Amino acid sequence: MDAGTIRILMAKLGDGFEAAVGRLSFAFREAGYEVVHVENQSPEAIVTSALQEAVDHIGITTLPGAKIEDIARIMELLKKKDMSYVRVTAGGFLDYNDIDKVKEAGVVEFFPKGTSISELIIWAKDNIKLTDDWSK
Ligand code: B12
């Protein structure tokens, strides 16, 4: 692992639709991030991977119609394990009302279906940091 390289866990929550997380992982690697890519995971498995891989950030893809409770559970587990320094971004499908709930649960940003990859990378450069930076 290179010092100074931001590590992201890119995770697909729930069953199916693993192609989207593959595409996102590829795009973030091309943009210079180190990406650990996991598919079709439970909230518990996602948080365990984040801990074991010592990532700086978690990206969750929710295609399609994911359960808001699962995202809230990820945030709760991060808190329980004293890992709130690992910030979480998500994207994919959610009802409009659930997008507000995801942010209330602590997710930094939610990107709905159709957001362009270049828009994501521009946002990431400004908002995804090494975890050390957040504690300063
Ligand atoms: C490919 C696809 C499939 C493939 C999946 C292949 C695979 N192995 O993954 C197959 C053919 C298997 C499939 C099946 C089904 N599909 Co389908 N599928 C799609 C399709 C065409 C593209 C999804 C995709 O991969 N997008 C690529 C991602 C990268 O793009 P994106 O979704 O726009 O995501 C952007 C943002 O949301 C954001 N983002 C997303 N996640 C994250 C995460 C982070 C961290 C960040 C920063 C950003 C981010 O960034 C992306 C940048 O472009 C969509 C329609 C569409 N055009 O979106 C339907 C779609 C998702 N499917 C749909 C449905 C209903 C189904 C089926 C239930 C159909 C059926 N009756 O069988 C099944 C379910 C299968 C299952 N249980 O998993 C619906 C979902 C509706 C809903 N509201 O939930 C859609 C929207 C089609 C439609 N209009 O009805 N599908």
Provide, rounded to the nearest whole percent, the portion of the chain with pLDDT above 90: 68
Which two tokens mark 54? 């010592």
Is residue 37 a part of any domain in this protein? yes
Is residue 2 a part of any domain in this protein? no
Kindly indicate the confidence band of residue 53, based on its pLDDT and cuts at 50, 70 and 90.
very high
Is residue 108 a part of any domain in this protein? yes
Expressed as residue numbers, the domain containing 122 is 7-131
Is residue 136 a part of any domain in this protein? no
64 lines ligand 1 (CB under 6 A): yes
What's 22's domain CATH number? 3.40.50.280
Ligand 1 pocket test, candidate residues 36, 67, 87, 113, most atoms within 8 A of CB: 113
Is residue 34 a part of any domain in this protein? yes
CA-proximal residue: ligand 1, atom 62 (nearest): 64
**Ligand 1 closest atom vs CA 124:** 47
Selected residue with higher pLDDT from 36 and 15 = 36
pTM: 0.93
What is the number of structural domains in the chain? 1
Is residue 116 a part of any domain in this protein? yes
Give tens-digit pLDDT for 26-51: 999 999 999 999 998 899 999 999 99
